[in-house]
Amino acid sequence: MSCVFTASLLEAQTTNLYTTVTNLWFQRHKTEVLAFGQERLNINSNDMPGLIIKLTYDGAFTQLTTLSNSLQNVISVGKTITNENFVVCYPFLKISNEFMLDFLTTYQPSQIKLEEEQVKGLIPNKPFPYYKELEALQKDGLFEPLEP
């Protein structure tokens, strides 16, 4: 599985990262997609593609200990991006993240319910939920490979 991901990322250098990441997510390589996002965040903690990937993973696997921070980070960094394509997506992204932050203040699932929700992240063939935002970042030139 790791070889597939590595090969796909090498291919991404000649195509685009948006397509590679969303396809890998759909093909159930979610942990590898998270690792790629985390690598980007290790290079630049305000990297919007990395923040969106982390948010997507935290949401898909109901990672309650980090989900609020991921939502807030996407909102705060997102408002600083003024590129033409991303600014079209940002208002909806901001509203949905604020709604989710509000929801999380009252969401207190039992351990069994939380485990049931976390397993849903493994459901196969689910599209990357923030694909429009990643595509906009790609079009704006903000989803290029980062150099350490």
pTM greater than 0.75: yes
- What are the pLDDT digits (tens) for 37-79? 999 999 999 999 999 999 999 999 999 999 999 999 999 999 9
The count of structural domains within the chain is: 1
In a domain, 145, yes or no: no
- What are the pLDDT digits (tens) for 44-55? 999 999 999 999
Instruction: Give which of 71, 59, 64 is closest to 34, Cα–Cα.
Output: 59
In a domain, 148, yes or no: no
CB atoms within 10 A of CB 148: 6
- Distance set, CA 79 to CA 21, 82, 86, 100 (Å): 23, 8, 10, 17
Distance from C-alpha of 6 to C-alpha of 18, rounded to nearest angstrom: 15
Give the residue numbers spanning the domain of 82: 2-139
In a domain, 130, yes or no: yes
CB 85 within 8 A of CB 136: yes
Cα distance between the two ends of the chain: 24
